[in-house]
Chain A
Amino acid sequence: MNMSATETLYPLHNGIGNMVRALFPESAFFINGLLGLIAVVILTSTLAAVLILLERKVSAHFQVRLGPMRVGFHGILQPLADGIKLIFKEILKPKGADSFTFYLAPMLPLTATFLIMAILPFDHHLQLADPAGGVLYVLGISGLAVLGLLLAGWSSNNKLSLLGAMRAGAQMISFEISLALIMLLIVMLSGTASLREIVLSQQGLIFDWWIFKLPFLGIISFIMYLIASTAELNRTPFDLAEGESELTAGYHTEYSGMGFAMFFFAEFVNMFISAALATTFFLGGFHAPLIGIDFIDPILNIIPGFIWFFGKTFFIVFIYMWFRWTFPRLRIDQLMSLEWKMMLPTNLLLLMMGAVFMVLGWAG
């Protein structure tokens, strides 16, 4: 683990990075950065397509249906068809809408997803950037998404949109506190705010992951994280911002074509990001789940880290979908009382208990 500072910052320099450096010694820094950006964009777009298809298929099977079956084998090309349809749809702007904000709003959540994507540690050396304050960076960027929703609701000149946006704003800001407290717990325990370092602090057996390492505390805070992040994502049972039975579609009621597609896109990639952060914080990131048995562990270790990472992440994505297709929705006041009367005190308590555990030396 004795890497130079540049290696930690730009792990991409292995492989392709070295090649670029050898070919263009002067401009390697910019070219590598550009390649990284392209990689993130491609990864994000692919992920969105995969997640949309996954959501449709998973929801269909929860509901004793088959889901898309027409485009390609078992509807595998359906997201492509949807995308083409959305690109060619007309973007309608309601009368009286604020043009600049109306067109700006969908871009903000999308930008936020790209920005967070850049710091996720997919594997030992598969990370675009690893700022020392990665957790703070994540929390800061997710504020951008809230701003997008608020602007969308306000600029649409539609009362239902505005109600949806206000709900979204109140909800995301409140649950961000819980989320931040849970992240703080892990930051405190692992002693670092860099996402890569947090993953590395869970090296070892499966019992060294933060979810199992702390007695009881880990599992409780993991459940808390799941609840808070579901609320942060505006997914059922916390999808009040869209609440189609009350607000038709909430903040994106008036968006069509690519404007709607951007919100949709950001929503799905955000789901992946939340799951990826859960993996990073609790499930040992790219580490294989070693169980301490001599003849199984080497086999698990052969599987590359990013496969473990994506496997764990998609498992959590599945849990999000499972929530969504089972539960009804909460009401706005119940949501708020859940956050301020239940989640926040519990999280503060967890934080204090974590501190006590650390002092007693139980936390690894």
Chain B
Amino acid sequence: MKETVPKESLLKYSSRYLKKIFTGFYSLMQGMDITVKYFSNPKTVITQQYPENRDTLTMFDRFRGPVSMPHNENGENNCTACGICEKSCPNGSISVLATKDLSGRKVLGQYIYRVGQCAFCGLCVESCPFGAIELAKDFELTVYDKNELTWVLNKAQDTPSGEC
């Protein structure tokens, strides 16, 4: 059963045809009106010239960059080498190498961070109970050699004196 379409009169057909042409042209004109509005107003340009505006760029406070370990003015950090961050990392990009100081207490030897493996999820910072690590605002992480992607985050500390 094929439905038969009632035949239009020629007048109706041609008026529909012409209407389609004119509304079509009108819609095209409207689109051209929008684009030329942006063309003629250079203030609407939204792209930035990146390396030139480097000085004025500021990242948001919560920006998730690479892991860093803040040190105070004496060059000390808060890390107790508990290794919770290492356990919480999904990619195994953190290795906390603990060592013992002269009094036999467990202290941080080397905090190894492989930025090449990092997914910047922030779970290590979230899990750290001591606030020893944070996510830096740095986003230009490109290097030429992949060996440069393994960082040691803690600064070498002097042997604490007087605790012999």
**A–B touching in complex (CB under 8 Å):** yes
Q: Which residue of B lies closest to A69 (CB)?
A: B49
Whether a CB of chain A sits under 8 angstroms from the CB of B58 is no
- The docked-state distance in angstroms from the alpha carbon of A65 to that of B34 is 15
- The docked-state distance in angstroms from the alpha carbon of A66 to that of B53 is 15
Whether a CB of chain A sits under 8 angstroms from the CB of B130 is no
Cβ-neighbour of B42 out of A61, A63, A323, A342 (below 8 A): A61
Whether a CB of chain A sits under 8 angstroms from the CB of B143 is no
Q: Which of A28-63 contact B (CB under 8 A)?
A: 58, 61-63
A326 touches B38 (CB 8 A): no
Residues of B within 8 Å of A322, CB to CB, are 32, 35-36, 39
Cβ-neighbour of A58 out of B21, B31, B39, B45 (below 8 A): B39
* Known A326-B32, A327-B31: A62·B39 in contact at CB below 8 Å: yes
Q: Which of B1-56 contact A (CB under 8 A)?
A: 21, 28, 31-32, 34-36, 38-39, 42, 44-47, 49
Q: Which residue of A lies closest to B49 (CB)?
A: A69
Q: Which residue of A lies closest to B21 (CB)?
A: A342
Report, as a range, how many residues of chain A touch the other chain.
10 to 19
Residues of A within 8 Å of B34, CB to CB, are 326
Residues of B within 8 Å of A64, CB to CB, are 38, 44-47
- The docked-state distance in angstroms from the alpha carbon of A62 to that of B49 is 18
* Known A66-B47, A69-B49: A61·B38 in contact at CB below 8 Å: yes
Q: Which of A55-93 contact B (CB under 8 A)?
A: 58, 61-66, 69
The DSSP consensus for interface residues of chain B is helix
Residues of A within 8 Å of B42, CB to CB, are 61
* Known A58-B39, A322-B35, A325-B35: A66·B45 in contact at CB below 8 Å: yes
Residues of B within 8 Å of A69, CB to CB, are 49
A66 → B minimal CB distance (Å): 5
- The docked-state distance in angstroms from the alpha carbon of A344 to that of B42 is 40
Residues of A within 8 Å of B28, CB to CB, are 326-327
- The docked-state distance in angstroms from the alpha carbon of A121 to that of B119 is 63
A61 touches B45 (CB 8 A): yes
Cβ-neighbour of A326 out of B31, B44, B47, B49 (below 8 A): B31
Residues of A within 8 Å of B39, CB to CB, are 58, 61-62, 322
Residues of A within 8 Å of B21, CB to CB, are 342
B88 → A minimal CB distance (Å): 42
- The docked-state distance in angstroms from the alpha carbon of A65 to that of B32 is 17
- The docked-state distance in angstroms from the alpha carbon of A61 to that of B35 is 9
- The docked-state distance in angstroms from the alpha carbon of A269 to that of B13 is 42
- The docked-state distance in angstroms from the alpha carbon of A63 to that of B42 is 11
Residues of B within 8 Å of A66, CB to CB, are 45, 47, 49
A363 → B minimal CB distance (Å): 25
7 contacts across the A-B interface (CB closer than 8 A): A64-B38, A64-B45, A65-B45, A66-B45, A66-B47, A326-B32, A327-B31
Q: Which residues of B contact A (CB under 8 A)?
A: 21, 28, 31-32, 34-36, 38-39, 42, 44-47, 49
Q: Which residues of A contact B (CB under 8 A)?
A: 58, 61-66, 69, 322-323, 325-327, 342
Pick the 9 closest A-B CB pairs, nearest first.
Answer: A326-B35, A62-B35, A61-B39, A65-B47, A326-B31, A62-B39, A64-B46, A326-B32, A64-B44
